[in-house]
Structure 1
Amino acid sequence: MENTPLRYTDLPIGDRAAFELVCARHGFAPSHFDISACPDPGDAAHERLVTVRRGGWAQSYHDHHGQWVRQFESDLTCRFFK
């Protein structure tokens, strides 16, 4: 899998619903973020590495059964993307 740009609408339905809920809880819309995904060469147990960008800020998360959304919410709680 090469680095493929995604929008939140391209995510699996469960991830998309969780992402939308997390965004709404923190006063954002999913369109406020750019999402890209690529394989994680350093960790075969994870399906891919999901990178979320907003403005000059970016954070990458391991996508293991949607766990990246929880990590993303933690960053929103800490105001990483504000």
Structure 2
Amino acid sequence: MEEKEILERITEYVGEEQRLRDRYQRDELGREEEHARLERLEVALDQCWDLLRRRRARLEAGLDPGTEDAGPRPPDEVEGYLQ
């Protein structure tokens, strides 16, 4: 996945997150349904940001950002990071 594709996906996820929050505020979406989808979006966003950071780091180090080990990491790995 190229950087442009990652950024497009991030934009798409952020837009969906905002739409969900707007629908929830208008009581058009159930709390459980919204919560579950928001959690999935947060994980997907974390994976995208992690992938983007790792690709950029590989580029700065003079390495190929598109190698197999530069793909998205599993959710449990990305979500386990300390910030």
Structure with more of its chain in helix, by fraction: 2
What TM-score, normalized by structure 1, do the two folds share?
0.30
Higher RCO by CA contacts (8 Å cutoff, separation 6 or greater): 2
What TM-score, normalized by structure 2, do the two folds share?
0.30
